[in-house]
């Protein structure tokens, strides 16, 4: 019925559009918007009425795309565009692009004006001895009331950029042990100003090359993101890049990136890739500068994501240097040697763990993502591989299994259903609901149970989608204890691609129009609650460095709400968790007495403090004192957290030793894995929880 409805709704527009032959770029833009909105109306899980309220939201979203840092537009120019705040819905219906046209004209003039400010300010130089501060949080700043106020913003912003460069050069010089003659502060300042001038000149050159089509895509995404943050427009090139990423072809350093305002954000690090092996690049790092070894750095602030990827990609064996900004506000230079990504680190693997004289012979399975054979040359499905690891651990007669889903961003729905079924007899795993349709229940139909003992599932705030489905199902069945950070990511929605070319018959000279990824379904737990927004709350919450920072789906504007549907009938008789409250209390006491967990808690509070403390001194001495204090605090934290967990013993399974020893590269990667596991206090606590589970049960 829904497909029939879609066909009826689209038919009139298809015929109308097909009757036209000559078009200009604006006609193509209008056709794209019309097609996008029609697909959203028919297929989106939560369609919206195109009215003044919708227009109001789109206007605010589009303003972020225009000038998220509030570095270009004056308040009076924003007020000029305010005329269209409640007219976007009418413009859409009349195939008008008045807001887009006028906003681009205003933006171009404001960029040219800022370039004049930039050159005047750089020529005038800076005084780093006076006490003044700069607010680094654009959300706390209003648009400048006049040119004098905007110019002052630019002066302070550029001064901070130069200040960062001076500090880094002074720090490098202080740590230099080569015996080279140190540069004077004046020389360092002149060099830093020159670097800032070059980077901003390069940035303005890139801004000059921004196409109208790029700005138009921002306008379309502003419309789509009012529906939800995961619905996006993809031009043909972006869709091709998306398919490459999903097909498992990795891009240079093995990190997945996304746009975050004017910055490029690291959203995940591919296990086995160069960045993963380097252990320096972190999820949530903002990349601000890219340097090819031996060349000048390139400031990528405001650069298109595909251009950033082009900067980071390169031949195997070459070095790229990334300057990143951490969540605590600190800057780091990270060198990464590009290499082929070794995919076996992305597959399920297992170990045997123990704490001598406390608990012995516990199995551990690490699953970095829910990969599947439908992705081509990626190998077996993760459900098949986890089943194999369980069989190995059963042969070792382990007394319990820990399944580690930390940082697992999800993947194959079919695999998560099959994998959940490895631990129960049979029954429902997840409900998937489309708009105005009854939920479809995905069941485990296999009555065979591959593992019937104590089970712990480890998660964190980056465990998303399929990870949340598995954790929720095993929690609802009372089959496993879930341990981890405050909650998982909270992405409980499903997206599908729709090709806009199907909207228009004929008109081949206008195509390709691109594709949209839109949210058309929601996941629901078997208890009826959604994983959307709230994620899965662990049974036992452990301290985490992001404990005091909102992360995950809650960070997004226009995220779909948490909702509830009818629960299902479910149950299992394999193994049930007993006395959860006692397990939680015993863990809480251990964590309270653990110096490493105390250090994590203190670091979490510091990160929150630094995130909230957005006023930065522009006095060189004060600024350096502030950074040195932060660096000292971070060093103290790292010294504590980087210690080996002495009581923890880790070993490979005997059955895996031959293949590990067969290849020097594989052997080295395994040693690196074991070395990092030895420092994992979360695994240590998981073992103590497992010991408590077994004691209570017996």
From 190, 225, 260, give the residue that closes a domain: 225
Residues 6 or more apart in contact with residue 176 via CB below 8 angstroms: 182
% of the chain residues with pLDDT over 90: 64
326 plus 357 within the same structural domain: no
pLDDT of residue 374: 53
For residue 686, tell me if it sits in a domain: yes
For residue 670, tell me if it sits in a domain: yes
547 plus 622 within the same structural domain: yes
Tokens 């007020």 sit on residue? 79
Segment 489-503 shows an average pLDDT of 90
Separation of alpha carbons 615 and 617, rounded Å: 7
Give helix 413-420 / helix 466-476 axis angle, nearest 10°. Answer: 20
Separation of alpha carbons 179 and 670, rounded Å: 39
394 plus 535 within the same structural domain: yes
3-state secondary structure of 455: strand
216 plus 256 within the same structural domain: no
Number of domains, the chain: 3
Helix residue ranges per DSSP H, 375-519: 382-395, 413-420, 466-476
CA–CA–CA angle 690, 693, 697 (5° rounding): 145
On whether the CB atoms of residues 599 and 537 are closer than 8 A, the answer is: no
Report field, pTM of the whole predicted structure over 0.75: yes
- The pLDDT tens digits for 29-59 are 988 998 999 999 999 999 999 999 999 999 9
461 plus 541 within the same structural domain: yes
333 plus 349 within the same structural domain: no
From 293, 312, 337, give the residue that closes a domain: 337
Q: Catalytic annotation on 476? A: yes
| Strand pairing report for 515-524 and 493-499 | antiparallel
pLDDT of residue 223: 96
Cβ atoms within 10 Å, residue 58: 23
CA atoms lying within 13 Å on the CB side of residue 370? 22
For residue 73, tell me if it sits in a domain: yes
Tokens representing residue 438 in the block? 């009854």
Maximum pairwise Cα distance, the chain? 81
Which residue in the list 491, 522, 551, 692 is annotated as catalytic? 491
Residue 431 sits in a domain whose CATH number is 3.90.226.10
178 plus 322 within the same structural domain: no
Nearest CA-CA partner of 608 in 545, 657, 667, 548: 548
* Positive or negative: CA dihedral 78, 82, 84, 85: positive
Which residue in the list 465, 530, 587, 596 is annotated as catalytic? 465
For residue 581, tell me if it sits in a domain: yes
398 plus 262 within the same structural domain: no
pLDDT over threshold 90, residue 67: yes
Tokens 């921002």 sit on residue? 218
534 plus 667 within the same structural domain: yes
On whether the CB atoms of residues 474 and 482 are closer than 8 A, the answer is: yes
* Positive or negative: CA dihedral 420, 421, 422, 425: positive
Q: Catalytic annotation on 551? A: no
For residue 241, tell me if it sits in a domain: no
On whether the CB atoms of residues 648 and 654 are closer than 8 A, the answer is: no
Helix residue ranges per DSSP H, 132-178: 147-175
For residue 649, tell me if it sits in a domain: yes
Residue 257 sits in a domain whose CATH number is 2.30.42.10
Nearest CA-CA partner of 546 in 535, 561, 558, 530: 535
DSSP 477: T
For residue 22, tell me if it sits in a domain: no
Nearest CA-CA partner of 399 in 357, 353, 450: 353
Average pLDDT over the chain, rounded to an integer: 89
For residue 26, tell me if it sits in a domain: no
- The pLDDT tens digits for 526-544 are 999 999 999 999 999 999 9
- The pLDDT tens digits for 149-196 are 999 999 999 999 999 999 999 998 888 877 788 899 999 999 999 999
pLDDT over threshold 80, residue 10: no
123 plus 191 within the same structural domain: yes
Q: Catalytic annotation on 157? A: no
330 plus 350 within the same structural domain: no
From 282, 316, 337, give the residue that closes a domain: 337
DSSP line for 28-50: HHHHHHHHHHHHHHHH-SS----
Ranked by mean pLDDT, the top range of 243-257, 258-272, 438-452 is: 438-452
Which residue in the list 476, 539, 544, 692 is annotated as catalytic? 476
195 plus 284 within the same structural domain: no
Segment 315-324 shows an average pLDDT of 90
Q: By residue range, what is the domain housing residue 653?
A: 345-507+523-697
């Amino acid at each position: 019925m829904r497909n029939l409805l879609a066909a009826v709704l689209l038919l009139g527009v298809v015929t109308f559009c097909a009757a036209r032959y000559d078009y200009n770029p604006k006609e193509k833009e209008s056709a794209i918007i019309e097609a996008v909105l029609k697909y959203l109306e028919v297929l989106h899980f939560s369609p919206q009425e195109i009215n003044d309220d919708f227009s109001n939201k789109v206007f605010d979203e589009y303003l972020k795309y225009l000038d998220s840092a509030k570095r270009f537009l004056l308040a009076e120019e924003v007020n000029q565009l305010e005329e269209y705040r409640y007219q976007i819905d009418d413009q859409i219906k009349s195939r008008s692009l008045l807001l887009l046209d006028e906003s681009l004209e205003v933006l171009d003039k404001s960029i040219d004006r800022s370039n004049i400010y930039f050159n005047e300010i750089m020529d005038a130089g800076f005084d780093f001895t006076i006490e003044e501060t700069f607010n680094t949080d654009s959300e706390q700043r209003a648009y400048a009331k006049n040119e004098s106020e905007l110019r002052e913003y630019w002066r302070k912003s550029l001064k901070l950029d130069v200040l960062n460069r001076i500090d880094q050069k002074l720090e490098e010089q202080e740590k230099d042990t080569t015996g080279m003659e140190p540069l004077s502060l004046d020389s360092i300042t002149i060099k830093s100003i020159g670097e800032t001038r070059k980077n901003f000149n390069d940035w303005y050159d890139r801004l000059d090359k921004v196409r109208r089509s790029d700005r138009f895509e921002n306008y379309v995404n502003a419309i789509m993101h009012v529906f939800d943050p995961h619905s996006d427009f993809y031009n043909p090139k972006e869709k091709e890049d998306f398919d490459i990423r999903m097909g498992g072809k990795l891009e240079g350093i093995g990190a997945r990136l996304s746009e975050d305002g004017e910055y490029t954000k690291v959203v995940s690090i591919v296990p086995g890739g160069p960045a993963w092996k380097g252990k320096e690049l972190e999820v949530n790092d903002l990349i601000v500068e890219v340097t090819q070894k031996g060349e000048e750095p390139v400031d990528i602030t405001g650069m298109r994501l595909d251009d950033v990827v082009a900067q980071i990609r390169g031949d195997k064996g070459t070095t790229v240097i990334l300057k990143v900004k951490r969540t605590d506000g600190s800057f780091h230079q990270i060198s990464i040697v590009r290499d082929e990504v070794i995919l076996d680190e992305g597959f399920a693997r297992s170990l045997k763990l123990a704490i001598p004289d406390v608990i012995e012979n516990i199995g551990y399975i690490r699953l970095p993502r829910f990969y599947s054979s439908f992705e081509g040359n990626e190998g077996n499905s993760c459900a098949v591989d986890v089943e194999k690891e369980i069989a190995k651990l059963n042969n070792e007669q382990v007394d319990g299994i820990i399944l580690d889903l930390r940082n697992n961003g999800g993947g194959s729905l079919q695999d998560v259903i099959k994998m959940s079924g490895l631990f129960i007899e049979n029954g429902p795993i997840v409900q998937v609901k489309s708009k105005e349709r009854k939920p479809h229940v995905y069941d485990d139909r296999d009555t065979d149970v591959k593992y019937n003992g104590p089970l712990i599932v480890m998660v964190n705030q980056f465990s998303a989608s399929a990870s949340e489905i598995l954790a929720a199902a095993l929690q609802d069945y009372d089959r496993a204890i879930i341990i981890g950070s405050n909650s998982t990511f909270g992405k409980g929605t499903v997206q599908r691609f729709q090709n806009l070319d199907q909207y228009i018959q004929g008109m081949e000279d206008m195509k390709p129009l691109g594709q949209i990824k839109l949210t058309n379904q929601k996941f629901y737990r078997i208890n009826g609650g959604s994983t959307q927004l709230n994620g899965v709350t662990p049974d036992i919450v452990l301290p985490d460095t992001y404990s005091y920072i909102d992360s995950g789906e809650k960070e997004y504007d226009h995220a779909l709400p948490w909702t509830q549907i009818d629960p299902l009938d479910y149950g299992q008789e394999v193994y049930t968790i007993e006395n959860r409250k006692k397990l939680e209390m015993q863990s809480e006491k251990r964590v309270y007495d653990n110096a490493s967990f105390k250090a994590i808690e203190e670091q979490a509070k510091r990160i929150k403090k630094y995130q909230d403390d957005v006023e930065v001194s522009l006095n060189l001495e004060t600024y350096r004192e502030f950074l040195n204090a932060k660096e000292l605090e971070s060093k103290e934290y790292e010294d504590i957290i980087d210690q080996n967990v002495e009581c923890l013993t880790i070993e490979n399974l005997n059955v895996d030793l031959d293949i590990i020893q067969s290849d020097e590269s594989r052997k080295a990667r395994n040693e690196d894995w074991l070395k990092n596991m030895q420092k994992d206090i979360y695994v240590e606590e998981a073992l103590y929880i497992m010991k408590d589970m077994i004691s209570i049960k017996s």
